[in-house]
Amino acid sequence: MNNTTSFYKEEAKSKMMDRYGEVILFLIIITLISVGLTALTDNFRPVIQEGIIVDSGIPALVTLFSAISFLFSAGIAYSSASLYIDISNNESFELMDKLKSGFTNEYGRNIVLVFLHSLFIVLWAFLFIIPAFIKAYSYAMSMYIGVKEPKITGLDAITKSRQLMNGNKTSLFVLDLSYIGWYLLSILTFGILLLWVVPKHQTARTLFFNEIYIGNNPVQVDTKEKDIFDTELL
């Protein structure tokens, strides 16, 4: 990695200029759907009071809505990565097309990728929290790679992320840590400030990905995208 944390933060701030309206709407839509699915799931869970089951709930519906929530999250993971890649490259997009993109572009692969990503983190967590934390950073670029390389498999995307993040995990952690104050401040605004913090943070992460991806895939990267990135380094 050649650039500093402050570089990514300043670039993210610049990239997000005049883009907050569409990104905030994107975040509101996916949040409302996620909250709605979670509420539906919880509505059918068993009710336990003082260690006694007072309502057995409907396990079949809990399983159904949990599955729907996971399938939704798999598609949205791709949509979100694609959205921030477009922003990082100064590309315009249609909001509804972007929301649907994760469900219309390699949706089956996206499901496998998100499932394997979650499974591997859980398995590492059985060993200890720190290894799982480190692996979470190793796999952090998986979905970005899935967007950039439509034909890559879920497992290969995770493997490639691990390779790209070799020697870069600490830098990404420092970048994430630099936003911790804003996230704490968001508590005082009942989470409203997150609508501005999350887009900048995710754009900064995407710029980080762009750099290490271009550095390792100079031939595969679109010429226009590389020209944009090189210009910003001047």
What percent of the chain has a predicted confidence (pLDDT) above 70? 91
Q: What share of the chain is helix, strand, coil (3-state, %, to 5)?
A: 75, 5, 20
Domain positions in the chain: 5-229
pLDDT of residue 228: 43
Q: What's the pLDDT tens digit per position in 75-117?
A: 999 999 999 999 999 999 999 999 999 999 999 999 999 999 9
Residue 81 · residue 93 · CB < 8 Å: no
pLDDT of residue 135: 95
Distance between CA 150 and CA 106 in Å, rounded? 7
Q: Which tokens is 135 given?
A: 């692996």
Distance between CA 225 and CA 190 in Å, rounded? 37
3-state secondary structure (DSSP) of residue 102: helix
pLDDT of residue 4: 87
Distance between CA 127 and CA 179 in Å, rounded? 28
According to DSSP, the residues that pair with 48 across neighbouring strands are 53
Q: Which residues of the chain have pLDDT under 70?
A: 1-2, 218-234
